[in-house]
Chain A
């Protein structure tokens, strides 16, 4: 039966005007805090990408040693730091470090969490038991303390921090994916696929993971601020990103020694870190509520 044989009146009802994505976008736009956070993050990402265009050439160059610790002025928007580096450039380049660590760590978390969560949810049984025991182990060891130990043992470094954050970030993604896969495993279309002889790998890839997309996105976005916080905390303790790479955590630690006389050394990195972590979290929360209202409230 071909569709052009059907009379006009019998044609399928016109598609719904608005798909689920439209409603998600509407829900997100209603959340003013999340929208404001999103705008802030876009600006910050743009600033980080195009940093060389509007900052002094090199954030690590000690070009202004004679003006060390100068207060903010028209020439140095955020002042000059203790060893003669333009502080505005360092804050903006610090955003590069913070954001790239956040994104890469979240990416790795998702890459570990999705397959493990799908395996645990789909197969159940001893696979599930094993993965859940591993997760349990991760939940009794406080991530920050373990990360500090790992950081101290490995002596920090950009990629080490990413790996450490991912090591603790995948748990959340894994649990979200597992719950979603378990819920969909018994659905009719999955049963039908099984009856047609589809392999578990195919079902997971073709049916279960696409249906887990919103928790995955939410897990990804919410892993970002956690990684950024971890980086800042470790760098604050001197076991994160090694100097001279600009990192907000490091700058806060230095600022602590200067804050009574040179307030700009403490205020700008603190504000930058607080605003960025806050904006990412609020954005992630907004996304979660918009994509899947049932996940709301934790």
Chain B
């Protein structure tokens, strides 16, 4: 297991380097440098000096190596939109809202999704099942910003129960958390339902029923435990969905989190900030893959990572 994890970490490092090279090259493939615009006309000599002081006159690979050496020290450079700060200090202020809202969204959405999925599987082909399936399909197909828009329109504009946007007052948290919860809820509801149905159809459940075990013991002790495995596989799509959805949730609800910085970095063509966010997200996703694969192997004695006996 340990050697497997080490191998995976190495491959993550390779992926990271490849992604960083591609992104770096893409940004430098754009014609024009930061001082070519007409906003701040500077003389040729001043421009050359500025470029030299920022290291922009060096060959591309030197610039890349310097940048990556900085990244290893968590130094992502200076964002264009607020040159007084570093990218890291900007991001350090940005993550708490994202973490609070996203975390609460997942903590509420995932268990609720599991409960709904169970209810749907146990009441198969009744209105409960149809309702849960409809909710899950809506949550998985409709883009997050459309869900957010519908939430705002219903609860803020039409019913006027909740504030539509902002940050601070906990009442303002409710709608964004609901929008965040949509993807975990839908993902878990759908997968729990199909996993439970799979397990309920297995012969051992019939055997347990024949043995005279009470239905609740069958469900909670046997079916649920045997259905738990697919829920680990769901973790990854849910994580990715929630993380990318955060960009839109925060843009819609005007929450000053990581996602809204991403949007503003795109609007302002703030490449250092964008590059930092992309690299960090790539690492996050790679680690999420690793966690879900390892958890899967640990939880399921029937699956063993190749190269480990058996």
Q: Interface on A for B, CB 8 Å cutoff?
A: 136-137, 140-142, 144-146, 148-153, 225, 229, 232-233, 236-239, 252, 255-256, 259-260, 263, 266-267, 270, 273-274, 277-278, 281-282, 297
A239: nearest chain-B partner, CB-CB: B266
| Contact residues of B: prevailing secondary structure | helix
Q: Interface on B for A, CB 8 Å cutoff?
A: 15, 18-19, 23, 26-27, 29-30, 137-138, 141-143, 145-146, 149-150, 152-153, 157-158, 164, 194, 240, 243-244, 247-248, 251-252, 262-263, 266-267, 269, 274, 277-278, 281-282, 285-286, 289
B252: nearest chain-A partner, CB-CB: A256
What are some 25 contacts across the A-B interface (CB < 8 A)? A140-B282, A140-B289, A141-B19, A141-B285, A142-B244, A142-B281, A144-B247, A145-B277, A148-B247, A152-B266, A152-B269, A153-B29, A232-B146, A233-B145, A236-B145, A238-B267, A255-B149, A256-B149, A256-B252, A259-B152, A260-B157, A263-B158, A274-B146, A277-B143, A281-B137
CB distance from A229 to the nearest CB of B (A): 5
A278: nearest chain-B partner, CB-CB: B141
CB atoms of B137 and A232 under 8 A apart: no
CB atoms of A237 and B285 under 8 A apart: no
| Contact residues of A: prevailing secondary structure | helix
| Residues on B with beta carbons closer than 8 Å to the beta carbon of A232 | 143, 146
Partner of A141, one of B142, B263, B282: B282
CB atoms of A259 and B157 under 8 A apart: yes
Partner of A149, one of B18, B23, B29, B286: B23
CB atoms of B274 and A152 under 8 A apart: yes
CB distance from B129 to the nearest CB of A (A): 14
> 4 closest Cβ contacts across the A-B interface?
A281-B141, A152-B266, A144-B244, A270-B149
Partner of A263, one of B18, B157, B194: B157
B265: nearest chain-A partner, CB-CB: A152
Most B CB contacts (10 A, CB to CB) among A148, A260, A273 go to A148
A230: nearest chain-B partner, CB-CB: B143
A281: nearest chain-B partner, CB-CB: B141
| Residues on A with beta carbons closer than 8 Å to the beta carbon of B277 | 145
CB atoms of B141 and A142 under 8 A apart: no
| Residues on A with beta carbons closer than 8 Å to the beta carbon of B149 | 252, 255-256, 259, 266, 270
CB atoms of B194 and A297 under 8 A apart: yes
| Residues on B with beta carbons closer than 8 Å to the beta carbon of A263 | 153, 157-158
| Residues on B with beta carbons closer than 8 Å to the beta carbon of A297 | 194
A255 to B149, CA, bound (A): 9
CB atoms of B15 and A140 under 8 A apart: yes
A263 to B153, CA, bound (A): 8
| Residues on A with beta carbons closer than 8 Å to the beta carbon of B143 | 229, 232-233, 273, 277
| Residues on A with beta carbons closer than 8 Å to the beta carbon of B244 | 142, 144-145
| Residues on B with beta carbons closer than 8 Å to the beta carbon of A255 | 149
Partner of A270, one of B19, B29, B153, B251: B153
CB atoms of B278 and A278 under 8 A apart: no
A226 to B145, CA, bound (A): 14
Extra A-B contacts (6), CB below 8 Å, given A142-B285, A237-B251: A137-B18, A140-B19, A141-B19, A150-B26, A151-B266, A152-B269
